Every structure is written in C-alpha cells, then in structure tokens.
Chain A
Amino acid sequence: MSDNILEVNGLSMHFPLSGGAFRKSTSVVRAVEDVSFSVKRGETFGVVGESGSGKTTLGRCIMRILTPTAGTIQYTGKAQEPVELVTSDDSLLRTIWRDIRMVFQDPQSSLNPRLPVIEIVGQCLRKSEKLSGSALADRVSTLLTNVGLRPEILHRYPGAFSGGQRQRLGIARALATNPQLVVADEAVSALDVSIQAQTLNLMQDLQEQFELTYIFIAHDLAVVEHICDRVAVMYLGQIVELADKDELFNNPKHPYTRALLNAVPVPDPRKRPEKRARRGAGEIPSGGVRPDACQFAPRCPHAQDICRNSSPPEKQIDGVAVLCHFAGEI
C-alpha cells in the first residue's frame, strides 16, 4: 500500500476567456499550471498563496468539481487500489466522494438556509447508506456530538447559529461519510480569533480520532504554521516552494515566500519598524506575464534578465523544491 493518499502530477487547469465575434475563445487564464505534489497519509498538507494564486482551483480539481485541462490525480484509499480521478466517470466519482470531502470557506453561503440540520449533515447518508428515520437521526446526533454541538439542534435551521457553529456543521457534514481525505478551503478564515482557535483545535482532535488526512488551503500563514506538516506556496498557478513547515518558516528560499512572511502582521508592536523596512512592493499582475518567464519576476527584488526571459527550473535544495533561477544563491 502506498504511503501517499494523493499523488498529483502535471496538473493544469486553464479557463478559456471568450470574446469577439461568435464568442470564440481569445485567450486562456492559467489558473493552475503544471502542478505536481503528493500528500502523505495522515498528514496535514498546507496550500498558501494570495487570492488569484490558484489554490481554490487546485482544491476544486482534487474534488473533481472541475475537470482539469491536463495532468493526473491518483487517489489511494486505505486498503484500496489506486484510482485515477481525472478520468473517472460520474458513477465512480460518487463512491470516491465518500472518501474525499470538502469544508468550504463561507459558513453563511455553504449551508442551505431552507434545510434543517438533520438534512444538511445527513442528506448524503440517505443516498450513500440508505439511512432514514431514527437511524439517520441517531447517526447525525453522533456526528453533531463529535464536532461539539448539542444533538437537540437536529430540526433547527442554519439561520439560528453563529459563524463558528455553522462551520462546525460544515465539518460534521464533511465527516458524515467517514472520509479519509478532507479538503478544507479557507475553513477558518471567516471566523473570529477565539472561535478560530476552537475550530483549529477541533480539527486537530478529529484528525487524531478518525485518522484523517487534510489538505488545508489558507491565506493566513500563522494558521498554516500552526496546523500543517508540509506547506506548498502557490503563486499565479504554480507551486513556487514546497517544504516541511519548519524549513519553510525558518528558512524560506523563494523570494515570494519571504515577501509573504514579511507582510504578515505580528502581534508584537516592538517588531514594527524592523518589519516596515523589509517590505517589498507590488501586487499580483492580472495575467500580464509571459508564460515562459518567471511569474514572480515583475515583483521580485532580485529579478535579472534571465528571470524575465525563461521559466525557472525546479531546484531541490535541502529537500525543498523551489521554483527560482537563483534559489540557494539569494
């Protein structure tokens, strides 16, 4: 049995931009471009980047909500044969979707306001396990208890709950089918600090209890450092650095990773002057970079001619994959 629950190879997702006469396709947005990584069973794999970096698209490709333009995604469940997700048809995907579940970003819009809790959490069990009546109620009650909610709320509607409670409902829904892999897309971003801490603790407890693997997509680097084992940093559709958490945060190698770390506000007023001095400028350019150049070059303080004229090779330095011409030298 493979140690990797998920192996992604050369994954690309291009969205055509249409315009002009007959709405013919004029150009493509390369939301995800030639991304490869593997996720080990039982770990928490972090994906960070700014908005527009393609991290949500990557999560949606893994969930097969989107069909990737190119590449392969191989899923290996516990005691199962590997399955290729990209070429799977709908009937096979339906069984896979019991194993791979998603927690969504916005707890306000990802729960149907017209459905009671028992349906929100248990709807998938009616189909997949043919549960109904008291069997379903029992199962949903257990799930609610698992995420720290009282079972009495079975027949209430999402409107009656706070943001933190709704996110717990979203987590309970994801856990309903005993999944092995959970893709959490900005699962704690919309929550208050104290509720965020509670939710992170809950996710860690559930990971131990149910032996879950997480793909944790987030823009908050402090949260990622807290919960993840390995981290991939994305910029304009590419993974520019992939490293163990300690290596990434103590010794960032890609200039973009450094820029991100410098931008994070630290709750320590004494570090203010030092941090302001180190900051770079610029924001994500909207698709203006040549595909055969380093995508980060327009914002990079170290950019040379070679960066603007050729794509950087992937280099391996101390077990860290870096996409930079000058990795290890700067």
Chain B
Amino acid sequence: MSPIHSSLSGGMRQRAMIAMALSCQPRMLIADEPTTALDVTTQAQILDLIADLKEEFDMSVMLITHDLGVVAEVAEDVAVMYMGKVVERGDVYSVFENPKHPYTQALLESVPRIGGVRKKRLPAIKGMVPHPLARPSGCSFRTRCERYMPGVCDRAEPELTKQGESEVACFLYSSELADVR
C-alpha cells in the first residue's frame, strides 16, 4: 500500500474508500453518491463490487444517489425524497414500473434512456426546487406539480400512506378526495 492517493485512478480511490469503510465489518454501509464522479465503465464495476460485498459480508447497504439508473441497478427498496420528506417508498419494481407520486413519475420521465422511445423533447419538471426558507404551504411539490389541486394541496401536508405495494404522500390517493379526481 505504498502509492500515495494522487497516483491512483478515480476507480481505485473509490475502492480504497470502500475497503476503509468495510475494515471494521459493519452491518450497514451508507454510500453517498459513491459513483457520481466516475466513468460509466468504472461505475459499473464499483456497483458490482458493492453488490458482491453485500452478499459476502451479509450487510445492508443504504445508497444515496440522484441517478435513477443506479437505483434500478442495485437497490431492492427505494425511498424518493423531495425537500426533506419521503414522498414515495416501495420495492424497486413497484416504484419503477408503477410510480404513484407525480414527482416520481416526472423524474422517471425526464431521464433520457438508451433505446427508449425517441421523443423530440424531454418532459422536464417545470421550475426548480424552492428555497428551503420559502417552503410552499401544504404539499412542498405543489408549485411544480402537473396535477396540483387548488384548495387541497395547499391546505395541508399529505402523509405517507399505504397504496397497494408502496407508500405515497399525495392527496391524489386519499379516499376522502376520491370524488374530486
């Protein structure tokens, strides 16, 4: 272990970090954007490595990332966060194949996919994340939501509730409002 860190490639450095994290045989590994700065080929290796080590050491992994592809590649369960709150939670198949929250739906639509249906324009989420000190009343996502219901979404904050296979925090799915939608 003589080489100083500057002579190692990005992938090697990330491996060294993982080795450090595993040195005391943890039960849980929290990986915060572990592959964001890496090339796709190196990223694939690191993700495979984490998956293999997870099996070998029988540990849990919490992977924090903005890349939906990475989530689909390694995770079993997913929580989608927006402005500090979990807006949808479920197993990876339910969340990716049957997303319920408008934010999850919009996120999944806004990534370009290889071999996907060619669209001239990407469906983008309008606007941007509000300033943390200017949090909208009610549901935080309502200012950017395609299905915003005035008089409902701005009055109260939706709670995370069970909907089929997953949990979602959105008034579109609350039973009292079934007739509204």
Contacts and interface: CB of A to CB of B under 8 A. Distances in A.
Nearest to B35: A265
B46 to A, nearest CB: 11
Given A222-B111, A283-B42, A269 B92 contact: yes
B145 interface: no
A222 B93 contact: no
B110 A193 contact: yes
A267 B44 contact: no
B124 A221 contact: no
Interface stretch (B16-24, B113-121, B132-140, B148-156): B113-121
A170 to B, nearest CB: 17
Interface residues of A, number: 44
Contacts of A155: none
A195 interface: yes
Interface residues of B, number: 41
A261 interface: yes
Interface string A276-289: 10010101101000
Interface in A261-307: 261-272, 275-276, 279, 281, 283-284, 286
Nearest to B112: A226
Contacts of A154: none
A295 to B, nearest CB: 15
Contact of A263 (B10, B40, B67, B92): B40
A279 B44 contact: yes
Given A193-B107, A276-B48, A267 B113 contact: yes
B69 A265 contact: yes
A201 interface: yes
Contact of A197 (B72, B110, B114): B110
Contacts of B69: 222, 264-267
A101 interface: no
B86 interface: no
A74 B42 CA distance: 36
B128 A195 contact: yes
Nearest to B51: A276
A162 interface: yes
Given A197-B122, A197-B124, A265 B111 contact: no
A201 B42 contact: no
Nearest to B39: A50
Interface in B50-102: 51, 66-73, 75, 92-93, 96
14 contacts: A50-B42, A193-B68, A193-B107, A195-B128, A197-B112, A198-B124, A221-B114, A226-B112, A260-B40, A264-B114, A265-B47, A265-B69, A269-B93, A279-B48
Interface of A: 50-51, 162, 164, 192-198, 200-201, 204, 219-223, 225-226, 249-250, 259-272, 275-276, 279, 281, 283-284, 286
Interface of B: 9-11, 39-45, 47-48, 51, 66-73, 75, 92-93, 96, 106-108, 110-115, 120-125, 128
Given A50-B42, A194-B128, A265-B44, 17 more contacts: A193-B66, A194-B106, A194-B107, A194-B110, A201-B121, A222-B112, A222-B114, A225-B114, A226-B122, A263-B40, A265-B67, A266-B72, A267-B71, A268-B96, A269-B96, A272-B73, A275-B73
Nearest 3 A-B pairs (CB), nearest first? A265-B69, A226-B112, A197-B124
